[in-house]
Amino acid sequence: MTTLVDPTVSSQPNTYNPKNIFPSLITPTRSPVVPLPFSARQPDTIRLYPLSNYTFGTKETQPEEDPSVLARLQRLEKHYEQHGMRRTCEAILVCHEHNHPHVLMLQIANAFFKLPGDYLLPDDDEIEGFTARLNDRLAPTNPKEGDLDWHVGDCLAQWWRPNNETFLYPFLPAHVSRPKELKKLYLIHLPPSKLLSVPKNMKLLAVPLFELYDNSPRYGPQLSAIPHYLSRYRFEFVNENGEVEARMPGVGDSTSRPQVKVLAEGPQDDAMNGAHANGDDVKIEDAT
């Protein structure tokens, strides 16, 4: 009996070798094309330090000045009559976790998100008054050398309040000649390490940029725009040993997805741990 042999079939054992089927998926056929330099007019690179470098604590409660939004707007109207337009400064503090930028922000009563800062007193210098308000919010009760120092960087955004209403806009409408408030958002350059203390009635959160981006229903238009403000910068991500381990865009630890982290909070009563403790959506208020 004659055995017919197909010459197209190998006499070797039938073993699966992906290189024989998809060689281009195993070894690149050529090196990627390197574009021309694309860094003209780029701002200074900003170094971000790991979240683990910072120490977080709590201090005495700081009650809200107004019991309601209406009361806050009435106080704003009174301020305008006595002192003119209210000046407000808030801080964008950035660190990193798994080589992804995180913004530090406050959460009040498990409901309202806001950046550290506040309105300035009528006679305050802008930067000196701003740093004083930052210390009110985040400085420890018994500060040591350096605890009260803040490196105020670029003004990243300006939000205008045309009338005694809750709405703020990133522009001043043409028909408005007497705005009631101007809120500035400043980038704060954090040092390699720092002690931050938050009032017991607030939480200090580290929120990743991807959580903020295009998330106006949860964080409001001002906070959800922060990724846009920061997109002009290039970041260097420093590890706990002080070494630059990645640069923007960078690749973080693929096994760990960055998440919102609660860094510090005081004891929460039942009223503050109501529906929101069950994961319900939080309320947004632009009148802060």
Instruction: Indicate the pLDDT class of residue 249, thresholds 50, 70 and 90.
Output: low
Segment 161-218, tens digit of pLDDT: 999 999 999 999 999 999 999 999 999 999 999 999 999 999 999 999 999 999 999 9
Return the CATH number at 66: 3.90.79.10
Contact between 160 and 171 under an 8 Å Cβ cutoff? The reply is: yes
DSSP state of 151: E
DSSP state of 276: G
Does the residue 279 lie in any domain?
Answer: no
Segment 37-64, tens digit of pLDDT: 888 888 889 999 999 999 999 999 999 8
Does the residue 151 lie in any domain?
Answer: yes
Residue 22: is its pLDDT beyond 90?
no
Does the residue 76 lie in any domain?
Answer: yes
Per-residue pLDDT, 38:
84
Per-residue pLDDT, 257:
64
Cβ partners under 8 Å of residue 141, min gap 6: 59, 60, 197
Alpha-carbon distance of 137 to 61, in angstroms, equals 10
Q: Which two tokens stand for residue 169?
A: 């806009």
Does the residue 32 lie in any domain?
Answer: no
Average pLDDT over residues 257-275: 64
CB atoms within 10 A of CB 25: 9
Number of domains in the chain: 1
Does the residue 54 lie in any domain?
Answer: yes
Does the residue 89 lie in any domain?
Answer: yes
Average pLDDT over residues 66-94: 96
Does the residue 33 lie in any domain?
Answer: no
Alpha-carbon distance of 43 to 136, in angstroms, equals 30
Does the residue 177 lie in any domain?
Answer: yes
Segment 81-127, tens digit of pLDDT: 999 999 999 999 999 999 999 999 999 988 889 999 999 999 999 99
Range(s) of the domain holding residue 131: 47-270
Mean pLDDT for the chain overall: 85
Per-residue pLDDT, 266:
76
